[in-house]
Each structure stands twice: as structure tokens, then as C-alpha cells.
Amino acid sequence: MEAISSFRNRYGAILTTYVFVGCATWLIGMIVAPQLLMVQKSLMYSDPAAAAAVSQTKASTDRLFVEKGRAEREVRKVEADIQAGGAAEADQSGGGVFNPFGSSGNQNAGASVEELEARRDELIARLGQIDDEIAANDSALVDAEKAAQPRLGLQNYFELFSNDANRPIFFKTIWSSILVTLIALIVCYPVAFYLAVSASKETTALLMLGLIVPYWVNEILRTFSWLMLLSSNGLINQALIGIGLADTPIDWRSGNSAVLIGMVYAYILFMVFPIYNTVETLDKNQIEAARDLGAPRWMIHWTVVIPHAKPGIAVGCIMTFMLAAGSYAVPVMLGSTTSKWFTEIIYDQFYEGGNWGLGSAYAFVLLITCILFIMMMMRLFRVNLQDIAK
């Protein structure tokens, strides 16, 4: 409150209103509240068995109502026959209409009035039964619906760890994302170092411009370029067969290899830029001095450059891991049914399976994983959030 009033004295009522309303809308309405609602949704568990019981009971009631309608129609018909006293029409009464007691009676061309009356009594008794069954179903439905009602619980989270199909995919996603991060780090560190230290200013400007282009090219298109290269008659298979390394085209997409290759390519530049930015601020004389004192190359990197580049390395790793673990574009395009990614499982919960509670729980597990990874990197590299946001 104090902040608001001092802000208003300085900037006037309208501007103050804009700033505070804008921030509140963004902070509460777009960041905090949606996340909380997602977590709340993830804690609402509905028993799939109870849900199945509900739909079963409903279907059974529907069937009973159909049967009831048919029986009532037949009763009217039989009564009309009795009124007419004729037996000739009776043989048509059963044709095509539902008959719960077989064909006896109706098919008899010369059915007597007594027989018709017996038939009517039978039907009326059955109608009573049907009414009882419907009533029983209705009360069962109330119970089943109560049981199927989503209730607060951690079952959605337990589900992930007891589900033998999804749990391995979750861990695979984590390990693969770490692998992608490591590969990107190893490939990018020399690039960032070269750009920041070895190359002349003009060369660096030109090369950076060259890197901005693929960086801004759509993720889908970057992935599509590898989809073309890795397809069964793509250039990579053409080349491998051409130089005799393979006899038949390799099916990259059936395993995880295509997804991993695509991810490294799609997210590698998120590693280059942060590392470049930190190495660039290093005083080049330090490298010079270390070299003059006879430090071998690896030692210069290990004791001078890398300690200085820590925040950049941390940011690069965090971004790459986060993008890889949360990627839906790359696995959905380069993967196959045998190489599912955790995000695809989440998508199925929202758009294929329809269990949003489970989907929310999976999503929250992914979020927690990323937060844990960020905290781990911050601890490991001793950097704080302010450094990261730079």
C-alpha cells in the first residue's frame, strides 16, 4: 500500500493504475492462478472403475427403457387382438417386434383368447420387473456417480509411478534431455569460445549474424529439415548406402535416435549464445597471462575460462534441458509410436484420452522436474536468478 501511494505521488493516478493493474493481471491472472488451478485439477482424482460403472449402469437403463417401450406396444397389440376376439390377426402381432419370451403363442395361427390373455399377463408381469430393474439401476447410478465423483487425492501422481507404460517414458525423457544438454554443451563450448576470444571483431559480428538466422527459423521447419534428411530415402541414407556403410536404409525414426538428433539441432543455439555472452566479458589478458606462465591449453580453460563462463554455462544448460524435456514439436515429428516422449503422453491425456486430472498431474511432474534441474544447476554453478535472467 505504501508502495502504491509513493508511486502515485511520483507518477500520477492514471499511470499508477495502469502499472499496478497490468502487473496484477499478469502475475495473478496469467501466471499464479492458472498454475494453481492446474495443480488443483491434478489433485482431483476420479476412479476409472467407478466411471466405467456409471456408464455401464446408464447403458443398462437405456436398454431397459427400450425393452419397456416394446413390451408396452405389444401389450396394446395383444389387447386389441383380444378385443377383436379374432385369432387370425394374432400371428402378425409378434412379427418384427421384440419378444422376450420366444415365439410361442404368437406364431400359433389359431391362438385362442385364453392364450392371448396369458400372453398379456406375462407381458404385464415383465413390465413390472422392468420397472423394478430401472428403479434399482437409478439408485445404483446415484451411488456409482458419487463414487466416480472427482475427489481430492494424490492418486493421479501415484498413477504415473504405477503405470508401467508411462513411467519408463518419463525417465527416458529425463535422461535423454540430460544427454541432449551434455552433447549441446560439448559441441557449443568451443564455438562460443572461438566467437568470443579467437575471432576478430568483424568475423564475430558476421558469424553471429549467421547464427541468428537458423536461431530464428521456425522450430517446426528446423525439425522438418531433419525429417527429410533422416527419412528412409533421405540424404543420410543415400550417402550411407553410397559409400557402402549400409546395405539397406536405416530406420532412424523407429528408435530414439532421430528424436535426439533433431533435439540437439533444434536447441543447440540456446547453448551457444549464453556461453558466448559470458566468455565475451572475460578479460583476454587473463588467458594471455596463463599462457605466458606455461599453462597447457586444457588448464587455461579449466581454471580461467570455465569459471568465468559459469553463469552462461548454467543458463545454456537450463534452457536446453527445459526445451528438450518440454518439447512436443520434435518428438511428434521425428518420433514414432515406439519412441514416445513424456510430452506426447501429456498431450494424449488432454486431447485423446480426456483425463485432464491425470494430464495436469503429469504436467506438474514435468514442471517440478524442470524446477529441480534449475535449482541443481544454480547450486552446482553458484549462480542466482538475476544472473540467469540476463
Partner 1 sequence: MTDTTLTHRTGSIPAIGDWFMERLPGIYMVLFFLYMFLPLVFMMIAAFNTTAVPPTALPFEGFTLKWFGALFANAPLLAAIGNSLVIGLGVIVLSLTLGLSGALLITRLHARSKSALYAILVSPLLTPGIILGISTLVFWNSAGIPGGLFVATLAQSTFIASYCMLMFIARLQRFDSGLEEAALDLGASHQQVFWHVTVPFLKPTIITAGLIAFLQSFENFNTTVFAIGTETTLTIKLAALARKTPTPEVNALAVIFIALTVVMAILYEVKRRSDAAREKVMAERAKQAEKEMVSLDIDKVAATTAA
Q: Which of residues 239-278 bind partner 1 (CB under 8 A)?
A: 265, 269
CB of 21 to partner 1, least distance (A): 8
Rank residues 265 and 273 by Cβ distance to partner 1 and give the closer one.
Answer: 265
The count of residues interacting with partner 1 (CB under 8 A) is 91
CB of 348 to partner 1, least distance (A): 12
Show contacts with partner 1 in window 286-315 (CB under 8 A).
291, 296-297
Rank residues 118 and 370 by Cβ distance to partner 1 and give the closer one.
Answer: 370
Show contacts with partner 1 in window 83-102 (CB under 8 A).
none
210 touches partner 1 by CB under 8 A: yes
Show contacts with partner 1 in window 346-375 (CB under 8 A).
346-347, 350, 356, 359-360, 363, 366-367, 370, 374
Contacts 24+ apart (CB under 8 A), 86-92: 87/111, 87/112, 87/113, 90/116
Cβ atoms within 10 A of the Cβ of 307, count?
13
Q: What are phi and psi of 17, to 5 degrees?
A: -60, -45
Give the C-alpha separation, 315 to 184, whole Å. Answer: 13
> Which residue from 134, 160, 240, 332 is in contact with partner 1, where contact means CB under 8 A?
332
CB of 145 to partner 1, least distance (A): 20
Give the C-alpha separation, 290 to 308, whole Å. Answer: 14
Beta carbons of 64 and 137 less than 8 angstroms apart? yes
Helix (H) or strand (E) segment spanning residue 15? helix 13-24
> Which residue from 205, 246, 289, 380 is in contact with partner 1, where contact means CB under 8 A?
205
CA 335 to chain centre: 15
DSSP 62-112: HHHHHHHHHHHHHHHHHHHHHHHT-STTHHHHTTTS--TTTTTTTS-TT--
Residue tagged 501422481 (cell numbers): 157
CB of 11 to partner 1, least distance (A): 6
128 touches partner 1 by CB under 8 A: no
> Which residue from 209, 243, 245, 293 is in contact with partner 1, where contact means CB under 8 A?
209
Show contacts with partner 1 in window 135-164 (CB under 8 A).
none
Rank residues 53 and 383 by Cβ distance to partner 1 and give the closer one.
Answer: 383
